[in-house]
Structure 1
Amino acid sequence: LKMLCTEDISMAVMLMFCSEGDNIPDAFALVYPLNDWLHLISEVNVFLSRLNWRVPPSWMLLFGSGLPPLLF
Protein backbone atom coordinates (compact mmCIF):
# COMPACT_ATOMS: atom_id res chain seq x y z
CA LEU A 1 0.00 0.00 0.00
CA LYS A 2 2.85 2.37 0.79
CA MET A 3 4.38 1.66 -2.61
CA LEU A 4 1.10 2.47 -4.36
CA CYS A 5 0.91 5.78 -2.53
CA THR A 6 4.52 6.76 -3.20
CA GLU A 7 4.26 5.78 -6.89
CA ASP A 8 0.94 7.68 -7.20
CA ILE A 9 -0.91 4.58 -8.44
CA SER A 10 -4.69 4.81 -8.21
CA MET A 11 -6.63 1.95 -6.69
CA ALA A 12 -10.06 1.14 -5.37
CA VAL A 13 -11.01 -1.53 -2.87
CA MET A 14 -14.46 -3.03 -2.46
CA LEU A 15 -14.80 -4.93 0.79
CA MET A 16 -17.69 -6.88 2.22
CA PHE A 17 -17.82 -8.99 5.34
CA CYS A 18 -19.57 -12.33 4.84
CA SER A 19 -20.64 -15.18 7.05
CA GLU A 20 -19.52 -18.76 6.59
CA GLY A 21 -21.44 -20.98 4.25
CA ASP A 22 -23.17 -20.08 1.01
CA ASN A 23 -21.83 -16.66 0.00
CA ILE A 24 -23.37 -16.58 -3.47
CA PRO A 25 -25.96 -13.92 -2.46
CA ASP A 26 -23.11 -11.88 -0.94
CA ALA A 27 -21.18 -12.12 -4.21
CA PHE A 28 -24.12 -10.72 -6.15
CA ALA A 29 -24.68 -8.03 -3.51
CA LEU A 30 -21.09 -6.92 -4.11
CA VAL A 31 -21.15 -7.15 -7.89
CA TYR A 32 -24.25 -4.96 -8.38
CA PRO A 33 -22.56 -1.77 -7.08
CA LEU A 34 -19.44 -2.74 -9.03
CA ASN A 35 -21.56 -2.95 -12.17
CA ASP A 36 -23.11 0.45 -11.42
CA TRP A 37 -19.60 1.88 -11.27
CA LEU A 38 -17.91 0.06 -14.18
CA HIS A 39 -20.95 -0.72 -16.39
CA LEU A 40 -19.93 -4.34 -16.96
CA ILE A 41 -23.48 -5.34 -17.95
CA SER A 42 -25.72 -2.90 -19.81
CA GLU A 43 -28.56 -1.22 -17.93
CA VAL A 44 -31.04 -2.89 -20.28
CA ASN A 45 -30.27 -6.15 -18.51
CA VAL A 46 -30.10 -4.76 -14.99
CA PHE A 47 -33.21 -6.68 -13.88
CA LEU A 48 -31.87 -9.90 -15.38
CA SER A 49 -28.26 -9.25 -14.44
CA ARG A 50 -28.00 -12.26 -12.13
CA LEU A 51 -28.73 -14.40 -15.16
CA ASN A 52 -26.03 -12.65 -17.20
CA TRP A 53 -23.11 -13.14 -14.81
CA ARG A 54 -20.91 -16.16 -15.43
CA VAL A 55 -20.31 -17.93 -12.15
CA PRO A 56 -17.42 -20.31 -11.46
CA PRO A 57 -18.28 -23.97 -12.14
CA SER A 58 -17.17 -24.78 -8.59
CA TRP A 59 -20.29 -23.01 -7.30
CA MET A 60 -22.34 -25.93 -8.63
CA LEU A 61 -20.61 -28.19 -6.09
CA LEU A 62 -20.95 -25.82 -3.15
CA PHE A 63 -22.85 -28.38 -1.09
CA GLY A 64 -21.24 -31.45 -2.61
CA SER A 65 -22.09 -33.37 -5.72
CA GLY A 66 -25.03 -35.24 -4.22
CA LEU A 67 -25.46 -38.94 -3.68
CA PRO A 68 -25.46 -41.33 -6.64
CA PRO A 69 -29.00 -42.66 -7.28
CA LEU A 70 -27.63 -46.22 -7.32
CA LEU A 71 -27.21 -46.04 -3.54
CA PHE A 72 -30.97 -46.16 -3.12
Structure 2
Amino acid sequence: QNYDISMAVMLMFCSEGDNIPDAFALVNHLNDWLHLISEVNVFLSRLNWRVPPSWMLLFGSGLPPLLL
Protein backbone atom coordinates (compact mmCIF):
# COMPACT_ATOMS: atom_id res chain seq x y z
CA GLN A 1 0.00 0.00 0.00
CA ASN A 2 1.31 3.46 -0.90
CA TYR A 3 0.91 6.35 1.53
CA ASP A 4 1.47 9.86 0.20
CA ILE A 5 3.23 11.35 3.22
CA SER A 6 5.62 14.27 2.83
CA MET A 7 8.51 14.29 5.25
CA ALA A 8 11.84 15.99 5.78
CA VAL A 9 14.47 15.01 8.30
CA MET A 10 17.14 17.31 9.68
CA LEU A 11 20.01 15.40 11.21
CA MET A 12 23.19 16.63 12.83
CA PHE A 13 25.91 14.43 14.25
CA CYS A 14 27.29 15.66 17.58
CA SER A 15 30.10 14.66 19.89
CA GLU A 16 29.58 13.71 23.51
CA GLY A 17 29.35 16.50 26.05
CA ASP A 18 27.76 19.92 25.75
CA ASN A 19 25.68 19.93 22.55
CA ILE A 20 23.92 23.24 23.18
CA PRO A 21 25.89 25.05 20.42
CA ASP A 22 24.93 22.22 18.04
CA ALA A 23 21.26 22.66 18.97
CA PHE A 24 21.46 26.38 18.21
CA ALA A 25 23.19 25.69 14.89
CA LEU A 26 20.46 23.20 13.93
CA VAL A 27 17.60 25.54 14.82
CA ASN A 28 19.31 28.38 12.92
CA HIS A 29 19.51 26.17 9.80
CA LEU A 30 15.86 25.18 10.28
CA ASN A 31 14.88 28.85 10.45
CA ASP A 32 16.94 29.64 7.34
CA TRP A 33 15.04 26.90 5.49
CA LEU A 34 11.46 27.40 6.79
CA HIS A 35 11.56 31.12 7.70
CA LEU A 36 9.84 30.49 11.04
CA ILE A 37 10.99 33.86 12.34
CA SER A 38 10.65 36.92 10.12
CA GLU A 39 13.75 38.45 8.53
CA VAL A 40 13.36 41.55 10.72
CA ASN A 41 13.78 39.47 13.88
CA VAL A 42 16.30 36.90 12.61
CA PHE A 43 19.37 38.63 14.05
CA LEU A 44 17.73 39.13 17.44
CA SER A 45 16.36 35.59 17.49
CA ARG A 46 19.81 34.12 16.95
CA LEU A 47 20.92 35.90 20.09
CA ASN A 48 17.80 35.19 22.14
CA TRP A 49 16.56 31.65 21.51
CA ARG A 50 14.51 30.42 24.46
CA VAL A 51 16.34 27.64 26.23
CA PRO A 52 14.35 24.86 27.96
CA PRO A 53 14.67 25.04 31.76
CA SER A 54 15.90 21.43 31.79
CA TRP A 55 19.12 22.56 30.08
CA MET A 56 20.10 24.46 33.24
CA LEU A 57 20.72 21.09 34.94
CA LEU A 58 22.44 19.49 31.96
CA PHE A 59 25.60 18.78 33.96
CA GLY A 60 23.99 18.51 37.39
CA SER A 61 23.49 21.16 40.01
CA GLY A 62 27.03 21.23 41.39
CA LEU A 63 28.32 20.31 44.82
CA PRO A 64 26.30 21.17 47.90
CA PRO A 65 27.91 24.09 49.80
CA LEU A 66 28.47 21.90 52.90
CA LEU A 67 30.87 19.71 50.92
CA LEU A 68 33.10 22.61 49.86
Same fold by TM (over 0.5)?
A: yes
Contact 2:31 2:37 in 1 (8 A): yes
Q: Aligned pair in 2 of structure 1 residues 60, 50: CA closer, same or farther (>3 Å)?
A: farther
5+ residue gaps, structure 1:
1-7
5+ residue gaps, structure 2:
none
Q: Aligned pair in 2 of structure 1 residues 50, 69: CA closer, same or farther (>3 Å)?
A: farther
* Structure 1 ranges of 4+ moved more than 6 A: none
Q: Tell me the secondary structure at the aligned position of residue 14 of structure 1.
A: coil
Q: What is the Cα deviation at residue 52 of structure 1?
A: 3.3
Q: How many angstroms apart in 2 are the aligned matches of 1:41 and 1:68?
A: 41
TM-superposition CA deviations, 1:15-54 (whole Å, max 9, x none)? 1100011000000111111011222222222222234322
> Size of the alignment, in residue pairs?
65
Q: Aligned pair in 2 of structure 1 residues 62, 22: CA closer, same or farther (>3 Å)?
A: same
TM-score by length of 2: 0.77
TM-score by length of 1: 0.73
* RMSD of aligned Cα (Å): 1.7
Q: What is the Cα deviation at residue 56 of structure 1?
A: 1.6
Q: Normalized per residue, which structure has more helix?
A: 1
User: Which residue of 22, 25, 31 corresponds with 1:29?
Assistant: 25
Q: What is the Cα deviation at residue 55 of structure 1?
A: 1.8
